[in-house]
Amino acid sequence: MARFCIRSVVFVFSLILVVCGLLVLRKPAEVDPQAYPPVSSEMHLKPLRSFDVIDPYAYHGVYYKAQLHVHTDRSLDGNWSVREALQAYRDAGYTYVALTDHDKVTVHHELDDPTFVIITGEENTVPWPFWPLGCHILRLFVETHETSGNAQKRIDTALSAGGIVALAHPSWVGNLQTGQWTLPRMLALTGYQLVEVYNPHSDPVEDTRRWHELIRRLGPNRPVWAIAVDDSHSPERLNLGWIVVKTDGISQEALKAALRRGSFYASTGVSADFGVQENRIMVHVHSEEPAEIRFINGSGASVEQVAGFSAQYAPSGAEGFVRVEVRSQSGEMAWSQPFWLVPEAN
């Protein structure tokens, strides 16, 4: 009997080693754009003769700095207390900070005040093939850790609790490469509204490319907005990526509304204004030095590139959508949300 048990344990252990080995040796998914599913006719990129440019920034409000991905020592790999983390973000000029410990909801409102709002949330692991391997999602504005179900269920329970969900670090090669959000997986899910295009633990170029491919397929009626985050675990990794969000007042509800409608941009240091005037997309960079401002169409091509403090682009109608990337001379970035072209309203 004892021998049978030992054999079983050895067999299971060997099986786990083989599975892990195969995962490690597997070629990283989707580094090749050819691996993306073909573009369908549903694509919303048809040329338009008369159109409106949708402006996600055309709402009343003031811009504030927000951090949506922070770990504390309530995560196994976190190296600062909840209070230390929140105080550091408050000192760094943030108005909104979300606590997103691994598979654990952290509630802390001692430092909440009219100028500083703490968002309760978690970074949830979707186990595959078994916990702690698998992809990560940020479940924001939720009070309960979700322990079961597939990714869709974990998204759905966050939404039904009034939360907002982000897919974390799409091309992250950690967790033995089980942590990647491939494009087919992202397309198969619904309900999430945010995707990280910048996370210091992932590749921002590839993450931006996956987000771009995702939004061109989902179209203007299923918006998924870009966020930049710190994914911080200690005081040394603070203030690397954030969003600048336009909220009407300072409150959880104001932040939620802005996250749902896309009234924010992702940043690693560039401060800018984005908007639309008479169907022209306008960009103004707040900087001492000229920056590189790039307008990118729905097909992923640069349609205009300007070195300066401001730029504008008048779409021809063939772009599908236009988004803007700004790069400072020292390499800091800002990502606008997409400005969709839609048939002109009568």
Segment near Zn ion (CB under 5 A), from 24-32, 117-125, 206-214, 234-242? Answer: 117-125
Q: Is the Cβ of residue 181 or residue 321 nearer to Zn ion in the bound state?
A: 181
Contact 160, 167 (CB under 8 A): no
Measured between alpha carbons, how far is 83 from 69 in angstroms, rounded to an integer?
A: 15
Least distance in angstroms from the C-beta of 89 to Zn ion? 15
Number of residues that bind Zn ion (CB under 5 A): 4
Q: Is the Cβ of residue 69 or residue 294 nearer to Zn ion in the bound state?
A: 69
Least distance in angstroms from the C-beta of 231 to Zn ion? 4
Among candidate residues 269, 294, 231, 201, the one with its CA nearest the CA of residue 72 = 231
Measured between alpha carbons, how far is 183 from 211 in angstroms, rounded to an integer?
A: 8
Q: Is the Cβ of residue 76 or residue 161 nearer to Zn ion in the bound state?
A: 76
What end-to-end distance do the CA atoms of the chain give, in Å? 79
Token pair of 97, please?
A: 């900070």
User: Which region holds residue 188: left if phi is over 0, alpha if psi is between -120 and 50, else beta?
Assistant: alpha
Q: What is the per-residue binding string for Zn ion in 161-200, x denoting contact by CB under 5 A? A: -------x--------------------------------
Measured between alpha carbons, how far is 119 from 142 in angstroms, rounded to an integer?
A: 9
Q: Is the Cβ of residue 123 or residue 325 nearer to Zn ion in the bound state?
A: 123
Least distance in angstroms from the C-beta of 162 to Zn ion? 22
Q: Is the Cβ of residue 166 or residue 322 nearer to Zn ion in the bound state?
A: 166
Least distance in angstroms from the C-beta of 97 to Zn ion? 14
Phi and psi for 75 in degrees, rounded to 5?
-90, 150
Q: Is the Cβ of residue 66 or residue 168 nearer to Zn ion in the bound state?
A: 168
Segment near Zn ion (CB under 5 A), from 103-111, 120-128, 256-264, 330-338? Answer: 120-128
Segment near Zn ion (CB under 5 A), from 122-130, 207-215, 289-297, 334-342? Answer: 122-130
- Match 């109608």 to its residue by tokens: 317
Among residues 30, 55, 122, 123, the one that binds Zn ion under rule CB under 5 A: 123
Measured between alpha carbons, how far is 153 from 303 in angstroms, rounded to an integer?
A: 39
Among residues 136, 217, 323, 327, the one that binds Zn ion under rule CB under 5 A: 136
In residues, how long is the chain? 346
Q: How far is CA 181 from the centre of its chain?
A: 12
Among candidate residues 242, 272, 266, the one with its CA nearest the CA of residue 96 = 242
The yes or no reply on residue 231 touching Zn ion (CB under 5 A) is yes
* Interacting residues toward Zn ion by CB under 5 A: 123, 136, 168, 231
